Structure 1
Amino acid sequence: TQPWDALTIDGPFDLPEAVVSIAIEGVESIHSTKGIHYPLNVDEVEETTWQAVSRRLEERDNNNTLVRICVGDGLDALGQSALGELKPSTIDESSLKKLDLKNDEDRKFLEELQLLRAIAQKIPTTITANSKSDVYWFVVSGLRPVLDLHGKDSEASQEALRLLNAALDNVVKAFNNVYDGKVVVAVYTNDANKIRNTRSIESGRVERQADAGKPEAEVIE
């Protein structure tokens, strides 16, 4: 990670048209090699942030596209999502090395990844750039149970991280293609349990003592 040195707008007449936020719940890092990484002081759950962002945009213009999808809800719960009908592919069990569909934690996590891939496939036919400010918000919650089951340094967990980063790459590429690169993608980790535990002891803003223990925000332009 590197220190956050404020936001600078280089081209005020060529601003991004969309923001894509992807929250990875329950972990401190997904060990991605893409983008720029910053330590993140987390003092609220991601849904609170989403509500604040979406409300602010709705106050300015009611023609914005605002989409929030929790892939952990599963296909049955999502039904007709805000992006239309999602059709995830069947998981190819033969491609797995350490993860096992017989484990509920592994299976649910892999189903989330299939939904992310289905979203990436749906984006080109569903979304049209129209110069409005759009926000797409995705939540992945199945990684932490896999790390808890196998151990965060296990080969199974490493495989899970590799597959997650590959699925995220698919989503990033799809949005970049639709918006012709005029999109900011932020992938961040958010451990809600630590937020609740800290708030129960000390009210006010959470300040971490060292970057090593902080969640991360990864910005991909």
Structure 2
Amino acid sequence: MEVQAVRWLSLFSLLYTAQCGEVTVAHSPSNLRFGSAGVLRATHLDDVLAASLGYTPESAPWNGLTITSPFNLPIAAVVVEVHGGGASVRQEGSTYSLKEDTTLDDVFQRMKAVMGYRAQRETLFKRIVVDDYLGEDTFHGSIPSSEVLSLNDEPDSTFLREMAALVDAAEKAGEMTTTNHGGQDIIFLQVNSLAPLVKTYGLESPKVKEAENILRKQLVQVTDMMRHIYNDRVLVATATVEQLEELSRSSRSILQSEDLNLEDYNLATQYTSDYPAIFNIVLWLSIILLLAVLATSVAMATMDPGRDSIIYRMTNPRMKKDN
């Protein structure tokens, strides 16, 4: 009985670990403050990113994010999704546990559906699976040097080439930016090659340890590149996921359905780009006319009839006539 209980406990612990990752905010503008907070649910990650870009979140706000000023908010959000297989790639920055109650693909699809509908300016939604670049060898980034990983062995070779392609993919995504003419960018980069290394060699192996260090350095390059492209007005985060492949992806299926009903999201009415100008014209014209009527009414009410005003003379029943 005790042995069976231990087995069930071990299985539960494995599943719990497999569904828990972490999120590190590597860079954010000074008016976004990421403080101490509890676990961040993956289903709330889209709200955190949307709030960082100036949108009103749909769910209760996560208490880890404080917006100190509504001015000069980020014009781009970049998320690097790392399938770590249990490895840690924690960078410098604010790090939070990530409860994986959905996939990051679902997060991206939801942001694309909801923010794409609400956005009043051009928005770039770009999701890149980095290892898609490997088959054609289209990347031109330099392959990181390594002491224990070998380009002649797998999965070492795939990992090293993907690390080179990561920086190249980030650069190409930045070249597609819409921010030069008032737009905003949302970019997701997915890295898959670390998990096979962990599965092949184990978490404590020298190869995995070196792979973690290489990935950290590449992530620093990506962060610096994005800061340069967007003049520091960018939110850069790394999400390490440990999610099992068998987890349900029903939410993504709903978002990708042809029968998607955006009314289910309780979204506000969509307006054209002329709405702010028209609203301001009507508002201030109404205020000016109201003040003009008020000033005229006060002036007439306080007028002294003893000063022989035109109104007094025309309304006097005993008005004198010149003979």
Match of 1:106 among 129, 148, 156: 156
Match of 1:147 among 192, 195, 198: 198
The correspondence of residues 111-126 of structure 1 with structure 2, limited to 5 A, is 111-122=161-172, 125-126=175-176
Amino acid at match of 1:69: I
Q: CA deviation at 1:121?
A: 4.5
SS at the partner of 2:235? strand
The correspondence of residues 52-201 of structure 1 with structure 2, limited to 5 A, is 52-61=110-119, 63-76=122-135, 86-89=138-141, 91=143, 95-122=145-172, 125-127=175-177, 129-130=179-180, 131-193=182-244, 196=247
CA RMSD of aligned residues (A): 2.6
Count of residue correspondences: 189
Q: CA deviation at 1:75?
A: 3.4
Q: CA deviation at 1:74?
A: 3.1
SS at the partner of 2:77? strand
Amino acid at match of 2:158: K
SS at the partner of 1:96? coil
Amino acid at match of 1:155: P
SS at the partner of 1:171? helix
Q: CA deviation at 1:64?
A: 0.6
Task: Give the 3 Å change call, closer, same or farther, for CA 128–63 of structure 1 in structure 2.
Answer: closer
Amino acid at match of 1:112: E
Scaled by the length of structure 1, the TM-score of the pair is 0.75
Task: Give the 3 Å change call, closer, same or farther, for CA 195–9 of structure 1 in structure 2.
Answer: farther
Question: Alignment identity in percent?
Answer: 27
Mark the runs of 5 or more structure 2 residues left unpaired by the alignment.
1-21, 23-35, 39-62, 249-323
Scaled by the length of structure 2, the TM-score of the pair is 0.53
Match of 1:218 in 2: none
CA distance in 1, matches of 2:102, 2:91: 26
SS at the partner of 1:104? coil
Q: CA deviation at 1:88?
A: 2.4
Asked if the contact 1:88/1:117 (under 8 Å) is kept, the reply is: no
SS at the partner of 1:118? helix
